Structure 1
Amino acid sequence: MTNFLFCTKPISGHITPGLPVASELVRRGHRVRWIVEDDFAEMVERAGARHVTPAHTPSLANLIEAGSDPLNAQFVDLIPGQLADYRACLEEFPASAVITDSTSGLGAMILHELGGPPWATLGVSPLALPSPETPPWRSGLPPATTAEDRERYRRMHWEHAHVRTPGVTRGLNALRTGLGLAPLEPEVSIWDILCSSFLHLQCGTRSLDYPRPGLSPAIRYVGATVATEPGATADLPPWWGELRGDRPVVFVSQGTLATDPGDLVLPTIDALAGQDVLLVVSTPDPRGLGPLPENVRAAAYVPYQDVLPLAQVMVTNGGFNGVQIALSHGVPLVVAGDTDDKPEVANRVRLAGVGIDLHTGRPKPDQLSRAVAEVLADPSYRDRAAGVRADFAGHGGAAEAADLLIELATGALPRQPV
């Protein structure tokens, strides 16, 4: 029996991908504790892990309100509190590995350097590791194909790290020095070390990422860790049987955070009203949508893993978890998202040929109507989505991630340059 300690940002999209991994470890007889705010205690406990309230780590909102730069607050100013919470937990729960999401892993890295256990990161967003072959984050550019591209991207990555955001690396180096650790090498920035050099479990597949020659063996794609198998049919809406009719099914969802239906849900309803499709809408307040057209069905909760095997297109704001579930079922996409990592997800969808990127978070109905019609009419989108589906099927998801974490905990995974 091995102890594993998880710690993630208190955001549903950062926690959800790790829950099946924790459940799989518990199912195999291991013990898991999870440090996260109390709002997510029930979710963590349902997965079989024991919830731990962070006593020392401040919230990002409080740090920013107190005057911290947002980047420093997220990546540096949390570290002292994280260290205190890790150490308090490890005193009575000696974990063999610490697992964090990829945007909050630096406390675990510092803990290891100060004598703590090895750590793993879970990639809950598209892989952001800079390289000359990959375009800068949210640039919308394609992967490099020429020496000129690679030199351009190398320069752009360097400017982002050393000209636009040097303060966050300086802050980390100051903290490291204060803890008796050496600063990063001059050519290394904080953006180069967000993935664990022991094990980075990247959700998704290579077919849904940019080409990355020479990728470190510490980076492992594991497919979709979120649930992809159908759930209990008793929880489905009464109109569910209609999805097996003659009309193509289009599914639209804005995920768990961006819930204003005016962004995507209502424009999609307007776009497809009266068309020869059945539009299924997942939204927190279906009654707030008003009277629905004849071909629209709505519910407060529509399980992705149940609706997507029956859908021909998914319209989404680009949440990474939802896109992975769609593609694990071979469903092509129309993506309209412009916040957080959503432009990166949309760019990968476009470049993989598995959907259309509308390059906005508030599309017009005519944009949506044309995009859905194109995806339905052009079989190449579904053909390419089927190829990505096969790639997902070649991975074990949560089971594969659990295998790798057990190897990490038993010392079978050496530290690697990332």
Structure 2
Amino acid sequence: MKILFASQAIDGHFNPMTGVAVRLRERGHDVGWYTGPVLADKVRALDIRHFPFRRAVEHRADNLNELYPERARLKGPRAVGFDGEKIFASNISNFFEDVRELHGDFPFDVAVVDSSMFIQRLVTRLMRKPIVTFVAIPNMESDPLVPPLFFGFKPARNLAGKAVQAAAGLLSDKVILRPAGQSYRRQHAAYGQDVPRQGRLTDEPYRCAEAIIQTGPASLDFPRRNVNPKIHYVGALLPYRPPAAAGPAADEWPRSYPATLVVTQGTVDNVDQDKLIVPALEAVKGMDALVIVATGGRGTAALQARYPQPNIMVRDFVDFATVFEFADVFISNGGFGGVQLSLSKGVPLVVSGINEGKNDVNARVEYAGVGISLKTESPNPRDVATAVADVLGDPGWKRRAGEMRDQFKQADPAAAAADVVESTGRLPEDTGP
């Protein structure tokens, strides 16, 4: 079977798909990958054929503010609305035309498509190809029991909370996501495709797919009234690691401290380290703990000079799979991949982030009882210190994170996801609205 993977050129969207793609290649399938030129070497290293963007704009973690200088000044809902239109909706026609063109060289039987590309309806309707939607973020399908996206809400407990969330949902639909929704409808209308009025824009990748691969366990999602039978929670889909690949061995890190803390601000919003890394280091620099910091390759030397304490080790990149084997707390802005890796090792979290949907991830962390959310983009060092002390001092956090680790261990995520792709049959004549 010929299988096309298609993803944004953003590490957080690309990396979780790599293990699935390699597993399918190892099973004898012919796998190709459509993504940005920046990821060409990574795709080829997987022994997979690369099809680069041609018409599509390559949105990367390191060029978003360069492409859109005005983006850096936006906060909260305005930032979400801007990203929805510029980074996601604006590229839909370009993505589709690229995919339709590459089909001549690679006549794929099924496509595994990053949910944020929003080309599912066009590929299924106009190319008559079955789609497996790949969701590298928390389940974003709307449901009466699930709070609206982008606000960092947990499920409402009373009528007042439900009223607030209903109003926020209307704000999201009618204001925040309106430009993206209008762009989506306009581009589909150009192809003669009607889009149902009911539901939300973020429901489209779920509606127009034969199956959905949802990263993470169901226990890291909110309770739902409606269970979508197409959705398969497969666990922590982590980046593919060649058998010989490894970072520093666990015994290369100092092990004389009573606790180990890991700190990161992710790979996208990590330019301004005063948001999280610096407050975190100010909070914990005096603790009797090993503090491992991953900068994502930004400002490493300056941080090393600023924090010369022997217990603080600042690196461009850290092999999280190694350090989480002995870590006690993960201080993070809430990237979903990092959260899953942390929990897959039973490490509880202190999370602080709002942008790029981080607040929705962090709300789920807190709701599941596996971490403390500081509910801000720029926490006070005192609040970070208090949260870390709470997690270290209360064994319940470690116990609940351990319970989730045991859930992660129950299945092979890459194998489960590969099974979903293989079981996707021919596109039926009626694929829904």
TM over 0.5: yes
Q: Which amino acid aligns with 2:104?
A: E
Structure 1 pair 231–363 and aligned structure 2 pair: CA distance change class (3 A): farther
Give the match for residue 385 of structure 1: 401
Give the match for residue 220 of structure 1: 232
Q: Which amino acid aligns with 1:348?
A: R
* 2:197 corresponds to which of 186, 196, 199: 186
- How many Å apart are 1:110 and its aligned residue? 0.6
Give the match for residue 76 of structure 2: none
Q: Which amino acid aligns with 2:218?
A: R
Q: In the alignment, does 2:331 pair up with 1:315?
A: yes
Q: Which amino acid aligns with 1:193?
A: E
Structure 1 pair 229–80 and aligned structure 2 pair: CA distance change class (3 A): closer
Quote the Cα distance in structure 1 between the aligned partners of 2:430 and 2:289.
Answer: 52
Quote the Cα distance in structure 2 between the aligned partners of 1:145 and 1:162.
Answer: 25
What are the superposed Cα offsets for residues 22-50 of structure 1, whole Å, 9 maximum, x if unpaired?
A: 11111111121111111111111112221
SS of the aligned residue for 1:91 comes to coil
Structure 1 pair 251–169 and aligned structure 2 pair: CA distance change class (3 A): closer
- How many Å apart are 1:190 and its aligned residue? 2.0
Asked if the contact 1:98/1:108 (under 8 Å) is kept, the reply is no
Give the match for residue 3 of structure 1: 2
Quote the Cα distance in structure 2 between the aligned partners of 1:210 and 1:288.
Answer: 40
Give the match for residue 92 of structure 1: 105
Q: In the alignment, does 2:120 pair up with 1:121?
A: no
Name the stretch that deviates more: 267-276 or 124-133.
267-276
Name the stretch that deviates more: 398-407 or 135-144.
135-144
Quote the Cα distance in structure 2 between the aligned partners of 1:333 and 1:158.
Answer: 31
Asked if the contact 1:216/1:417 (under 8 Å) is kept, the reply is no
Asked if the contact 1:216/1:416 (under 8 Å) is kept, the reply is no
Q: Which amino acid aligns with 2:267?
A: T
- How many Å apart are 1:100 and its aligned residue? 1.6
What root-mean-square deviation, in Å, do the aligned CA atoms of Structure 1 and Structure 2 show? 3.0
Give the match for residue 287 of structure 1: 301
Give the match for residue 202 of structure 1: 214
Q: In the alignment, does 2:173 pair up with 1:174?
A: no
Structure 1 pair 417–304 and aligned structure 2 pair: CA distance change class (3 A): farther
Q: Which runs of 5+ in 2 are unaligned?
A: 70-80
* 2:284 corresponds to which of 234, 251, 272: 272
Asked if the contact 2:294/2:318 (under 8 Å) is kept, the reply is yes
Q: Name the % identity.
A: 29
Q: Which amino acid aligns with 1:50?
A: R
What are the superposed Cα offsets for residues 233-274 of structure 1, whole Å, 9 maximum, x if unpaired?
A: 87417972423x352111111222233433222222221123
What are the superposed Cα offsets for residues 190-225 of structure 1, whole Å, 9 maximum, x if unpaired?
A: 232132431111111111111113221111111111
Asked if the contact 1:134/1:153 (under 8 Å) is kept, the reply is no
Q: TM-score, normalised by structure 1?
A: 0.89
Q: In the alignment, does 2:266 pair up with 1:255?
A: yes
- How many Å apart are 1:146 and its aligned residue? 5.8
Quote the Cα distance in structure 2 between the aligned partners of 1:108 and 1:209.
Answer: 23
Aligned residue-pair number: 412
Quote the Cα distance in structure 1 between the aligned partners of 2:201 and 2:270.
Answer: 32
Give the match for residue 46 of structure 1: 45
Give the match for residue 350 of structure 1: 366
Give the match for residue 74 of structure 2: none
* 1:83 corresponds to which of 90, 96, 108: 96
Q: Which runs of 5+ in 1 are unaligned?
A: none
* 1:102 corresponds to which of 107, 112, 115: 115
- How many Å apart are 1:152 and its aligned residue? 6.2
Quote the Cα distance in structure 1 between the aligned partners of 2:411 and 2:427.
Answer: 20
SS of the aligned residue for 1:45 comes to helix
